[in-house]
């Protein structure tokens, strides 16, 4: 038998002959193991099983979770204050964000960011004209002695609209399917202003290295939605809560005015607000809202009812498929309890109270019907028939009181 060395010399000849090739094939068969083919089959089967049991599920999981997101090209924009140190109580600060006028934005979700829990509340305005340049920070509140920052209004003129409100770290909010706030190219609103209220700045005074970056992330739909959202605000124009009073009610009544009689509105969420004070010391106990049919003024439909001691975020309205038409009315009541020995007024500082009811709605046409109603209609003492309707809006039920107590314990801890 030819040795291996001689076989190797034949294998690597530069120009082997046909006889050399036949000799090489015969020598190779000497080293062939009869069971090698069966071992190869076993190896293939093992690899296939590993592929099916391990690799395929991993790829499937990754595909179902990440690939749709890659396909969706989800977009978002952020409106936030950057590295700011508030330095006085009850400071109102605004920051501007300019949108691309050639791009359309359809906002479907608001995500809040307030790691320092510094902001008492944040309001996001859509503006027709800007007050300042992009990312500029300015004073936009009640502090007359403000000197460190430039002063200005929230928006620079033209029309404006509140599109989101968040208080005391209430969290994020998603719009119903098919509904969005329309901004940018196809809208008159091409500018955003975020207003932040710092009720108490002790944590910044004590820690000189602490900065605030509070803000909002707006998630955007790729295509126009069927319905356009708006926010209307009911607010008292004044009033006070007497000292040592058990129940004091502030009432609001507003008539809805539409651009034309064909436009109607569909409310879908509400948010209350009755306090500039810290969460645990608010005097507000309950706020409720009703829709009054213009053709039947005794027909009151309850759509909003919540204690401001709970998270001040947007909640679904209490009655589905409500349609509000031109000349219908909305009534709201804020109920307070003041155990202190001094009168508390409606105002804009942490020593004051407020009475606000925000209602989110949409219209099929996209046109907004009504934006703000600020009226002092208090209380219904001259209308006994209306007073009876509102009687239940002055007291918390047992379950509501229990919910408030649980919320306060959670907040305290």
Q: Would you state the pLDDT for residue 166?
A: 83
CA distance between the termini of the chain: 90
The rounded mean pLDDT for the chain is: 79
CB 212 within 8 A of CB 86: yes
pLDDT > 60? residue 302: yes
pTM over 0.85? The answer is no
- Residue with the bigger pLDDT between 50 and 155: it is 155
Arithmetic mean of pLDDT, 42-50: 67
For residue 270, pLDDT beyond 70: yes
The confidence score (pLDDT) of residue 52 equals 66
- Are 358 and 273 a contacting pair, CB within 8 Å? yes
381 pLDDT above the threshold of 60: no
Q: What confidence tier does 352 reach under pLDDT thresholds 50, 70, 90?
A: confident
Fold for domain 77-225? Jelly Rolls (2.60.120)
231-413: CATH topology = Jelly Rolls (2.60.120)
Give the residue-averaged pLDDT of 44-57.
66
Residue 259: what pLDDT? 75
* 331: DSSP letter: E
For residue 215, give every residue at least 6 positions away whose Cβ sits within 8 Å of its Cβ, in sequence order, or none. Answer: 78, 79, 80, 81, 95, 112, 113, 122, 194
The answer to whether 71 touches 63, Cβ cutoff 8 Å, is: no
In the chain, domain spans: 77-225, 231-413
241/345 Cα distance (integer angstroms): 6
What whole-number percentage of the chain has pLDDT above 70? 70
Q: What is the DSSP string of 278-328?
A: -GGG--EEEEEEEEEETTEEEEEEEEEEE-TTS--S-EE-SSSS--B-TT-
Judge whether residue 7 has pLDDT over 50: no
Task: Tell me the pLDDT tens digit for each residue of 76-115.
Answer: 999 999 999 998 888 999 999 999 999 999 999 999 887 7
């Amino acid at each position: 038998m030819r040795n291996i060395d001689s076989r190797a010399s034949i294998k690597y000849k530069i120009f082997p002959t046909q006889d050399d090739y036949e000799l090489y094939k015969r020598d190779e068969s000497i080293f062939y193991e009869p069971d090698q083919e069966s071992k190869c089959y076993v190896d293939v089967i093992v690899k296939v099983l590993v592929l099916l049991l391990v690799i395929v599920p991993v790829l499937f999981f990754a595909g179902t979770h990440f690939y749709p997101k890659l396909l969706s090209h989800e977009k978002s924009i952020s409106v936030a204050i950057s590295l700011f140190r508030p330095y006085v109580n009850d400071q109102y600060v605004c920051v501007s964000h300019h949108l691309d006028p050639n791009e359309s934005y359809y906002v479907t979700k608001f995500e809040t960011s307030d790691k320092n829990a510094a902001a008492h509340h944040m309001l996001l305005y859509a503006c027709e004209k800007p007050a300042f340049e992009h990312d500029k920070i300015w004073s936009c509140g009640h502090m007359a002695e403000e000197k460190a920052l430039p002063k200005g209004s929230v928006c620079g003129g033209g029309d404006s609209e509140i599109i989101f409100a968040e208080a005391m770290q209430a969290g994020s909010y998603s719009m119903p399917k098919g509904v969005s706030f329309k901004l940018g190219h196809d809208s008159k609103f091409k500018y955003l202003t975020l207003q932040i209220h710092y009720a108490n700045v002790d944590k910044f005074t004590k820690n000189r290295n602490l900065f605030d970056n509070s803000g909002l992330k707006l998630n955007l739909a790729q295509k126009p939605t069927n319905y356009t959202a708006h926010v209307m605000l009911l607010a008292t124009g004044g009033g006070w809560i007497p000292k040592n009073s058990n129940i004091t009610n502030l009432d609001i009544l507003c008539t809805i005015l539409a651009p034309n009689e064909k436009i109607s509105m569909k409310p879908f969420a509400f948010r209350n607000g009755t306090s500039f004070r810290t969460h645990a010391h608010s005097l507000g106990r309950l706020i409720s809202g009703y829709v009054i049919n213009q053709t039947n003024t005794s027909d009151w439909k309850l759509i909003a009812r919540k204690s401001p001691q709970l998270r001040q975020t947007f909640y679904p309205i209490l009655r589905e498929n409500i349609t509000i038409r031109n000349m219908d009315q909305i009534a709201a009541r804020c109920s307070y309890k003041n155990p202190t020995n001094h009168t508390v007024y409606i105002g804009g500082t942490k020593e004051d109270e407020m009475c606000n009811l925000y209602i989110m709605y949409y219209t099929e046409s996209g046109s907004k019907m009504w934006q703000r109603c600020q009226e002092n209609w208090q209380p219904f003492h001259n209308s006994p028939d209306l007073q009876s309707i509102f009687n239940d809006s002055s007291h918390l039920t047992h379950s509501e009181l229990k919910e408030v107590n649980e919320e306060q314990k959670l907040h305290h801890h």
